[in-house]
Amino acid sequence: MKKINLFFTVLFALIVMQNGFAQTSFRGFANTQFDQPLSGKDLNGAPQKNAFGIGQYDNYVTSQLSDRFSFLGEVVFEYDGKTARLDVERVIIKYEWNNAFNVQMGKFHTPLGYWNNAYHHGELLQPTMARPFAVKFEDEGGVMAVHTTGLSITGDNIGKLNFGYDVMVGNGIGSSPVWDNNNSKSVTMNFRIEPIEGIKLGASFYNDFVTANSVTPFREDTVKVGTNQNIFNGYLVIKKSNLEVISEYYKINNKNAMMGTTSHDAFFAYAGYTINKVTPYVQFDYMKYDTKDFMYLNNNKNLTTIGFRYELAPLAVFKAGYRFGNTQLGGDYNGVQAQIAWGF
Amino acid sequence: MKRNIFLKFSLIVALISSLMSFAPAGGLSVVINGSVPNKDMTMVELKAFMKGTKTRWSDNSKVNLVFVNPTSSVGNQVAKAVFGTSGSEMNKALLALAFQGKISAPKFFDSEEEVAKYVKNTPGTIGIVGTDATSGATKAKINGADSF
C-alpha cells in the first residue's frame, strides 16, 4: 500500500514539475429537503414521520495537471443515521490519448447504464429529488456496485453514429477502495450510440465473482457461498429542445451453488418538459426482487412521482413532488417532498 | 384601382415588417486561437467541441473552452444555438460535464471582448461571440460561413 501511495505521489510531483502549477477548480453541491408522508410504514412497521433533512454536502476538485493528465476528486460529508461521516466518492487520474481513447485509474462511478455516470452526488444536476432505486448508492439501499475502484478505458464521438464506450476492470463486491478480497476482478462494459442528435441508445454489462463470506455493501451482511453476478442493462435517453426522457432497464442475475440462479428486475423512466424556468416531470420507479436471494433485503417497490423543478438562480433549483405507489414492506405509500439544491 | 394597389402595397410592407421583427438578433462568430488547426468546421463538429464530446483538435492538441456569461443576452444566444437550451441550463450542462470528468472546467467572462482576448492569447482555445465582437481574434468558418 505504501508503495502504491509513493508511486502516485512521485507521479503527481513529476507531472507538476514538468508543467508548473496545475489549473485547478474547487466546486461543491449541497441540498436540503422536507418529506411529508401521508401514508406508509417504515421497515419496523411504524407510520412514517415528516422530517426535514440535509442531503450530502459534496465537495469536488478538478485539475488539469498537464495537456494530457487531469485529476478529479470528490469528497462527501453525509449522515449515516445519527453519525456524520466522510466518504471519498471519486478519485480519478485520467490520461487523454485522443478523442477515442482515454485511460483512467482510481475510484469511479461504475460505468453501468446512463444515470449512474451522468449524475453523481450533486442533487442540483439531477432532474429528480432522488436517484432511482436501481442506481441508489450502496449504503442507501442500492442493489449494484455503483462505485468501483480500478482501471478504465473510455472514448466518445466515434464515427457517424457517435459511438461511445467504457471498459473497466476493478475490485468487485467484497472489496474496498484500498484492497480486494480476491483476485477475480469485476468487468464492466458500456456501449452507446447517438445516431440522431439528442437521442442516445446504450447497453451495458457487469460481471463479478463474489467470494464466499464477502461482506456486501447492500445489506452489510455476508454472502454465504461464492456467487457469480451478471448485470445486463439497456437505456434510451432523449434530450431534444425542451424535452428530456431517460429510461433504463436492469436485470441482475446472481448464481451460486446454494440458490441456483436468482433474477432481479429494475426499471425506471423519467420525462420532463422545460417551460422557461419550470420543468414539470413524471418519474416511474420499479424494483422487483427474487425472494430466494440473500444478497438483498427483499422489498419490491413500485412508485410514481409527479413533480416539478423551478430554477431559483443559475445554480439553485427548487424541486417538489407528490409520490405514490407501494412497497412490499411498507404497504401503500403516498407523500409529498420538497427540496432545494444548489451548487457553489 | 389606385386604392387596390395601395392596399396591396400596405399589406406587403406590413408582412415584411412583421417578418423582420422575428429575425434573430445579430449573428454569432466562432473565435479560435491561431494554434487551432480546425479553422473550418461543420455545425455538428462545433457542437461536439463545445459540448465536450470531442476534447482534442485534429492535431490531437487539447480543446480549451471559453464562454461569455451564460446569463447575458449573447450567452443565451450561444446556449440556444449550440446546446438548444437557455443560458442557465447550458451553465448546468457544462458544470455536469466538468463534474463527470469529461471536460476541464471551462472559463467564463462577462464580456465578449474578454472572451476574444483570452482566445487570442491562449493556445487551443475556442469561444463564441457576437459577429461584431471578435476583437481581431481568428474566426473559424462554420459550414463555410463566418457567422451563423
Higher-confidence residue: A191 or A214? A191
Fold that domain B26-142 belongs to in CATH:
D-Maltodextrin-Binding Protein; domain 2 (3.40.190)
Angle (CA) B13 B18 B22, round 5°: 145
Average pLDDT, rounded, for chain A: 90
Q: Which amino acid is at B109?
A: F
Return the domain boundaries, chain B. 26-142
Domains with residue ranges and CATH for chain A: 52-299 (2.40.160.10)
Query: Is the ipTM above a cut-off of 0.85?
Result: no
Instruction: Find, among A145, A142, A122, the residue nearest to A132 by Cα.
Output: A142
Residue A8 predicted with pLDDT over 70: no
* Model confidence pLDDT, tens digit, residues B55-87: 999 999 999 999 999 989 999 999 999 998 888
Q: Are A290 and A318 in contact (CB under 8 A)?
A: no
Higher-confidence residue: B25 or A112? A112
Query: What is the three-state SS of A171-209?
Result: CCCCCECCECCCCCCEEEEEEEEEEECCEEEEEEEEEEE
* Model confidence pLDDT, tens digit, residues A150-172: 999 999 999 999 999 999 999 99
Q: Rounded to whole angstroms, how far apart are CA atoms A261 and A290? A: 10
Taking contacts as CB-CB distances below 8 angstroms, the residues of chain A near B70 are 314
Any A CB within 8 A of B61 CB = yes
| Residue pairs spanning A and B at CB distance below 8 A | 72
Interface with A, mutate which of B60, B99, B103, B118 (most A CBs under 10 A): B99
Q: Rounded to whole angstroms, how far apart are CA atoms A143 and A301? A: 13
What pLDDT band is residue A343 in, cutting at 50, 70 and 90?
very high
Any A CB within 8 A of B72 CB = no
Q: Which amino acid is at B126?
A: I
User: Sign of dihedral through CA atoms B13, B19, B21, B25?
Assistant: negative
Radius of gyration of chain B, Cα coordinates, nearest whole angstrom: 19
Q: Helix, strand, or coil here: A55?
A: coil
- For strand A51-54 and strand A23-39, is the pairing parallel, antiparallel, or unpaired? antiparallel
Q: Which three cell numbers stand for residue B31?
A: 473565435
Any A CB within 8 A of B37 CB = no
User: Sign of dihedral through CA atoms A26, A145, A340, A248?
Assistant: positive
Which residues of chain A approach chain B closer than 8 Å at the C-beta? 23, 25, 27, 60, 62, 64, 67-68, 70, 72, 92, 94, 96, 98-99, 104, 117-120, 122, 124-125, 156-157, 162, 164, 197-198, 240-241, 274, 276, 311, 314-315, 343
User: Sign of dihedral through CA atoms B36, B123, A104, A7?
Assistant: positive
Q: Are B65 and B52 in contact (CB under 8 A)?
A: yes
Q: Do A62 and B88 touch (CB under 8 A)?
A: no
What pLDDT band is residue A289 in, cutting at 50, 70 and 90?
very high
What pLDDT band is residue A224 in, cutting at 50, 70 and 90?
confident
